[in-house]
Structure 1
Amino acid sequence: MAGRAAEQIVADVIELGWPVGQVLGSETELLQRYGVSRAVLREAIRLVEHQHVARMRRGTGGGLVIDEPDVDAVIGPAVIYLLRVGATLDEIFETRIVLEEIVAEVASQRVGEADNAAIRDTLKRESAGTISNFRLLHSQLAAMSANPILELFVETFGRIANFHFDDTAALPSEVDDDVRRDHNGIARAILTNNPGLAREGMRRHLNAEADFLRRQPATVQHLDPAVALAGALGAKRGEALARQIFTEIVNSGATPGTFIGSEATLMAKHEASRAVVREAIRILEYHRIALTRRGPGGGLFVTEPDASALTDIISIYLRRRGVKTRHIGELRTGLELAIVERAAAALRGGGGDAEVIERALRAEAEQSMALAFGHSEDFHSVLGRLTGNRALQLLHHVTIRLGWQFFSQIAAADPRAGALFNSLPTSVRPAHQGIADAMLAGDTELAVMRMRAHMTATAPHIS
């Protein structure tokens, strides 16, 4: 009930046009509006506060105040998920390369005169040594893509990569020279509208950065939860306790089904009140870290990793940023080409099971496309898993799920769009079969070609 009330609060904020600072209502007014108990409303408010949608302000003129969601609201949950699945620095960097290649290509096609001046100013400051943030150019290029979802993911994975190496003072001076040279080459390709050269320059630059970091003693492949999650879940007592319990789960290697404790034992162990423990439990449940079982032998248990909460938070953030279905489609096309290439390579190298592809095709034929995706049994989800890259798989899964959310809403609102949406399976299944045939025959180039044709054919329905 609290989750549904929180969803309604978010929907109301979006319908109002997201007027940051406006009071949505007092607690009494909200109780009447949403028709829930005080306990349910307060839990819903904790959720929207956690999502950075709104916050409760006490005192005269107080109430639920509409807030501004920021990238930090996304990075914390992303780190939580990547910690749960054990993603490594190598996986993070490979995902960054895929993302920033797409950004370099798109930016080179959209660069304008104002962008030209901004890039040249950044390069000039780098050359003069008056800039300490060597990620600035990357952020500028992401902004130039005019795609909120690309901008968000570039920032998110860039910051997560930084958690793996924070000893920037130890970097030798020649590294700065290499970065400046690479940045100048990438910028030149973008400013001359050369997408192929821009992609290649970005790939070489990030590969060189990854190779360098792997050789540094201070670099870690697996994140330290205490470092990566510092402040990520908020500073309130319940949020701090949730962070502490999560850190213990990760550090102990607890598997799904592991018993964490009853409410009473958690109160005693952490010397916390019932209210604080319950708030912590609600946060852990929201992020699918743990779930409560009722009755004899019940309590809090570790659960399977699930990206649902992260997808919801990203969806809220992107709606505030005005994301459109064409933005999702733009990322999706580049992402699917990268996925099919890596999945085909895994099959050729014996790192994947060809039977899972056949099972995915059968699942799509025997179930609806949406149902197969809901069970992660669809063709695209299976290709994502075949890459063996948990960070890339997360990006892929979230992007597809966002697409389903947006496209189904359009289909529900517009009968013509709905008819097109419902007719997709008749063309999608043969396309999936063709891509699978090429992959199983070991022809990566043909598989990529067919995936590109498939994404182009479905683009009119998702733009």
Structure 2
Amino acid sequence: MNDAAAKPPKRAELLVAAIEQRIEREQLQPGASLGTEPVLMAQYGVSRETLRNAIRQLERHGVARMRRGGGGGGGGLVIEAAASQTAVHAITAHLEFSDIGWSEIVEARALIDIEAAVEASRRSDEFSAARLRQLTAELDRGSTLPREIARRHLALPTAIAELAANPVISLFSSALSDWTLDILPSELGSPELRDREMHLVNDILRELVEAIVRGDEAASRKAAEAFSARSIKVSQFIESRRRRTRVDEWFKTSRPDSDDKLAQRLALALAQDVAARGWPDERFGAEAELMDRFGVSRSIWREAIRLLEMHGIARPRRGRGGGLMIGRPDAAYTIDSARRYLRRAHLRQSHYLDMRSVLEAGAIGLAITRATEEEMIELKRLGKRLAQSDDSQTVAAAVNWHCHLSTLCGNRALSLLLRILLSLTQDPNANVPPAIAELLRQRHFKLSQAVVARDEAKAHRIAHEHFEWLQEMLDLQLGSLS
């Protein structure tokens, strides 16, 4: 997390960056070959060892994969997915593997949807209005299966997020939508109750679209808030009525079409299985037994394990008593994937600060309500450490304080999204002037005091003023702040 303390990048890391920049610069699409191993070694002037280390990193992040065959026959280093889709998959998978509940997702989503609606109302034009109205017209059409209803409902917030023209909003909205479609149970109770809820949500979405088309910010916010409130009620219903089935039975009755999706579903089933057992420090079990239990091939099994290893849930242990051990979800891979995408997504400072200020305001309100006294004592301690930090450590100490604050909100989805944004704040070459570092310390100390005192109005006012000041400082190019 602390880029300022990071070591200089190795040759393989520099090569990864160069290849990713080439993909973005040339707008290369999934399936395109970047060249064979000899071609890439010659092109970038690196050894086979450096190239293979870089390829392992690219494969780990889902950017590209080495395939057999000549460069003209689909072989070589082949692009796997668009950078944005890799980041979406990483966020979605971490949320799924961490066994996060519906209420956490909907609570985080509400903050994003409201901000997206307000921004979209400022950008609406004839083309976007036609697109939104077309999606509105499709709300009452098609299948009444829960996933199909959800797919039609979520198409509108996704389109609104795209209209907002903020890569952060689009990324987070897409990831939370994918989570919903993956986790939604196949049955939700009586058709009468389902139909009533569907019509209520449809009416709210129509109001939201018309407000955005009119360019009415206040009405857009009000309609987005109503949609979020209804979504929270629906999520509570889903959590109370969701059928509790064995994960292997759930997996076998919800098999997707593609092998890639099948491996992801298997990884999710395995994660849910160990989560239900309390993440025990033990082996996953015999490969043959588990393959038979879930009815999958060795290739699907190993791809699922690869996904779990990326997220820390499967970890190899050497020596006596070793093997493939159960671990706990680790957000490092997810945060890194999202950060890499956002750094290449032509992100403006306003994109970052606008979304971070919204999410942090939500986290402050929730932390004041939910944090224990022990957690507040730790936040106070970090605030004091920040106030006493020297100039070279002030930014890192501020990031640490904000990261801890994000964990106090009692919402793991919101905490993850905030930590992704916080990972963007640091610059290893940042040189914050002493006067600015002192202002950072003073502002964070006041904010820390307000949060610890559980004074929500004061904390929100200080946070709002802080983000306005940050924008001014960044406009003056005074370094990487937090």
Equivalent residues of 1:291, 1:301 under 8 A apart? yes
* Other structure's SS at 2:34 match: strand
The answer to whether the 8 A contact 1:55-1:65 is kept is yes
> Are 2:472 and 1:426 equivalent residues in the alignment?
no
The question of whether the paired residues in 2 share the 8 Å contact of 1:287 and 1:306 is answered with: yes
Matched, 1:260 2:283: yes
Task: Give the Cα separation in 2 of the matches to 1:275 and 1:167.
Answer: 31
Contact (CA 8 Å) 1:75, 1:160: kept in 2 or not? no
Separation in 2 of the partners of 1:128 and 1:270?
A: 40
Aligned residue number for residue 53 of structure 1? 63
- Post-superposition CA distance 1:314-357 (Å, at most 9, x none): 2344455443443222211111111112222235xx57632022
Q: Which residue of 1 aligns with 2:229?
A: 207
Q: Which deviations, in whole Å up to 9, do the C-alpha atoms of 1:125-184 show, x marking residues without a partner? A: 446789961222211210110012201211211231232344379464333431232123
Answer whether contact 2:357 2:464 (CA < 8 A) is retained.
yes
For residues 206 and 102 of structure 1, the distance between their equivalents in structure 2, rounded to whole angstroms, comes to 12
Q: List gaps (5 residues or longer) in structure 2.
A: 1-9, 476-482
Q: Is the contact between residue 15 and residue 51 of structure 2 (CA under 8 Å) also seen in structure 1?
A: no
* Structure 2 partner of 1:35: 47
- Per the TM alignment, residue 373 of structure 1 is displaced from its structure 2 partner at its CA by 6.7
Letter in 1 for 2:279: A
Indicate if the aligned counterparts of 2:91 and 2:334 stay in contact, CA closer than 8 A.
yes
* Structure 1 residues 442 and 370: alpha-carbon distance in aligned structure 2, compared to 1, 3 A threshold: closer
Deviation string 1:83-116 (CA, Å, 9 cap, x unpaired) is 4544211111101111111111211222223222
Please name the residue that 2:362 is paired with. 338
Report the identity percentage. Answer: 25
Q: Relative to structure 1, is the Cα distance of residues 373 and 104 closer, same or farther in structure 2, using a 3 angstrom cutoff?
A: same
AA matched with 1:396: L
Is 2:352 the partner of 1:328? yes
Per-residue Cα deviation, 1:244-283 (whole angstroms, up to 9, x for no partner): 754553343224xx13279xx6589769999999877665
Give the direction of change, closer, same or farther, for the CA distance of 1:390–1:254 in structure 2 (3 Å limit).
same
Contact 1:76-1:233 within 8 A present in 2 as well: no
Q: Are the equivalent residues in 2 in contact too, given 1:52–1:67 (CA < 8 A)? A: yes
- Residue 177 (structure 1) aligned with residue 199 (structure 2): yes
Gaps of 5+ in 1: 413-417
Q: For residues 84-103 of structure 1, what are the structure 2 equivalents within 5 Å?
A: 84-103=97-116
Task: Name the counterpart of 1:449.
Answer: 461
In 1, distance between residues paired with 2:417 and 2:125?
Answer: 29
The verdict on how the C-alpha distance between 1:134 and 1:280 changes in structure 2, with shifts beyond 3 A counting, is closer
- Would you say 1:148 and 2:167 are equivalent positions? yes
Name the aligned partner's letter for residue 103 of structure 2: D
Q: Deviations over 1:418-454 (max 9, x none)?
A: 4458865322221112122223333211110110000
Output aligned runs, 1:399-418, within 5 Å: 399-404=421-426, 408=427, 412=429, 418=430
Given that residues 97 and 272 in structure 2 are in contact (C-alpha distance below 8 angstroms), is that contact kept between their aligned partners in structure 1?
no
Q: TM-score, normalised by structure 2?
A: 0.76
Q: How far is 1:227 from its partner?
A: 5.1
TM-score scaled to structure 1, two decimals?
A: 0.79
Corresponding position: 1:458 with 2:477: no
Alignment of 1:340-379 (within 5 A): 340-346=364-370, 353-365=375-387, 368-369=393-394, 371-372=396-397, 378-379=400-401
Amino acid at match of 1:310: T
Determine whether 1:194 maps to 2:216.
yes
1:392 aligns with 2:414: yes
8 Å CA contact retained: 1:93, 1:161: no
Could you say which residue in structure 2 is the equivalent of 1:415?
Answer: none
Give, in angstroms, the shift of residue 24 of structure 1.
2.1
- Alpha-carbon distance in structure 2 between the residues aligned to 1:421 and 1:307: 32
| Separation in 1, partners of 2:244, 2:289 | 35
Aligned residue for 2:21? 14
Deviation string 1:179-206 (CA, Å, 9 cap, x unpaired) is 2321232223323333333223212222
Tell me if the contact between 2:63 and 2:81 (Cα under 8 Å) persists in the aligned partners.
Answer: yes
Residue in 2 that maps onto 1:161: 180
Using the TM superposition, give the Cα deviation of residue 364 of structure 1 relative to its aligned residue in structure 2, in angstroms.
Answer: 2.5
Contact 2:201–2:230, Cα closer than 8 Å, also in 1: no
Structure 1 Cα separation of the partners of residues 247 and 414 of structure 2: 20
CA deviation profile, 1:346-392 (whole Å, cap 9, x unmatched): 35xx5763202212213324552454478xxx221222111111111
Q: Within 1, Cα distance between the matches of 2:299 and 2:41?
A: 20
Q: 1:274 to 1:461 in 2, by over 3 A?
A: farther
Q: How does 1:63-78 map to 2 (within 5 A)?
A: 63-69=76-82, 73-78=86-91
SS in 2 for 1:402: coil
For the residue of structure 1 that corresponds to 2:330, the secondary structure is coil
1:44/1:290 Cα in 2 relative to 1: closer, same or farther (>3 Å)? farther
1:167 partner SS? coil
Q: In the alignment, does 2:117 pair up with 1:104?
A: yes
Letter in 1 for 2:113: E
Secondary structure of the structure 2 residue equivalent to 1:288? coil
Q: Cα distance 1:231–1:326, how it changes in 2: closer, same or farther (>3 A)?
A: farther
CA distance in 1, matches of 2:339, 2:471: 20
In structure 1, distance between residues paired with 2:308 and 2:171: 24
Give the equivalent residue in structure 2 for 1:313.
Answer: 337
Are the aligned partners of 1:10 and 1:53 in contact in 2 as well (CA < 8 Å)?
A: no
Distance change (3 Å), C-alpha of 1:261 and 1:306: closer
- The 3 A distance-change label for structure 1 pair 311 and 11 is farther
* Pairing partner for 1:81 from 84, 94, 97: 94
- Could you say which residue in structure 1 is the equivalent of 2:35? 25
Distance in 1 of aligned mates of 2:436 and 2:157: 36
How has the CA–CA distance of structure 1 residues 327 and 269 changed in structure 2, closer, same or farther, with 3 Å as cutoff? Answer: same
Amino acid at match of 2:168: I
Which residue is 1:440 aligned to?
Answer: 452
CA distance in structure 2 between the partners assigned to 1:64 and 1:364 by the alignment? 45
Change in CA separation of 1:288 and 1:41 when aligned onto 2, cut-off 3 Å: farther
User: 1:261 & 1:129 partners in 2: Cα distance?
Assistant: 41
Decide whether the 8 Å contact of 1:13 with 1:66 is kept in 2.
no
- 8 A Cα contact 2:135 2:156, kept in partner: yes
Evaluate the alpha carbon distance shift between residue 254 and residue 128 of structure 1 in structure 2; reply closer, same or farther with a 3 A threshold: closer
